Amino acid sequence: MSVTPKDILNKNKNLRKRVDVSEIDLDGVSIDDLTYNGKNYSEYINLMSLLENVSACQVSDAYNGISKRSGTIQNIKPVNNQKVFGSIFTAETSSDDWGTSALAIDSASEGDILFFKVSSEDKAIWGELASTCARDNGIKATVIYGSARDLDALLYMDYPVFASNFCPNAGSALGLGTLNESIEVEGTTINPGDFFIGDESGIVVIPKELFAKTMLATLEVKVKESNIIKAIESGKTLAEIVGLK
């Protein structure tokens, strides 16, 4: 299904319209097109058509081809195995300060992904109440280089959470952390507005200035892997396809 002039001119645009992978056009797409602004219908639809059909693994492969970096942060894992992508809102605080989490929820914009760097993992800065509030505020997900809690609830919530650990205890509502400033996690600098994608395999962070190039490379990876799958289904082995036999 392709985007037609009628779609672009239609005042009641169908934001759920999707384009087949073989017809995706990323010409002129930027990280700003993660959000529909009333003027970027074609860019938004094509970008969503790609991102909804690729994995964190494929984005990592694409980014590695551009930068020789994976974009992954190995110690952060999915808590409830949900896929999400979007623009990052950063926060940094100590493990005894869950109040900064509450402030971040109020400060972030709809569609953002909260990314916390926490001083240690001995206390949780995030749980069921924070997830509920963030979800209701339109925030897409929370990522914590630190601990979460309330897994009995988070495992079944329709709100993606990623963390490096979990524990049952929390600190206090101090609100002493910093919001939307650059942070460094495992040697990776993460800036506000950088791109995030996470799923069952883990997380990938892409610098916003390399977003467009990475998306073009991701489309190439997706098409290449789709062709490999078709070849396997036709009877070829993976060893044959990659030239080992």
48-99: pLDDT as tens digits? 999 999 999 999 999 999 999 999 999 999 999 999 999 999 999 999 999 9
What per-residue confidence (pLDDT) applies to 1? Answer: 47
Taking CA atoms, 218 is separated from 77, 113, 171, 224, in Å, by 22, 21, 41, 10
CA-to-CA distance for 15 and 7, rounded, in angstroms? 10
Q: Which residues of the chain have pLDDT under 70?
A: 1-12
What per-residue confidence (pLDDT) applies to 222? Answer: 96
The answer to whether 162 touches 77, Cβ cutoff 8 Å, is: yes
CA-to-CA distance for 223 and 22, rounded, in angstroms? 7
Q: What is the C-alpha end-to-end distance of the chain, expressed in Å?
A: 38
What per-residue confidence (pLDDT) applies to 134? Answer: 98
What per-residue confidence (pLDDT) applies to 242? Answer: 86
What per-residue confidence (pLDDT) applies to 69? Answer: 95
What per-residue confidence (pLDDT) applies to 14? Answer: 87
pTM for the structure as a whole: 0.92
What per-residue confidence (pLDDT) applies to 5? Answer: 61
Domains of the chain from N-terminus onward: 1-53 (no CATH), 77-205 (3.50.30.40)
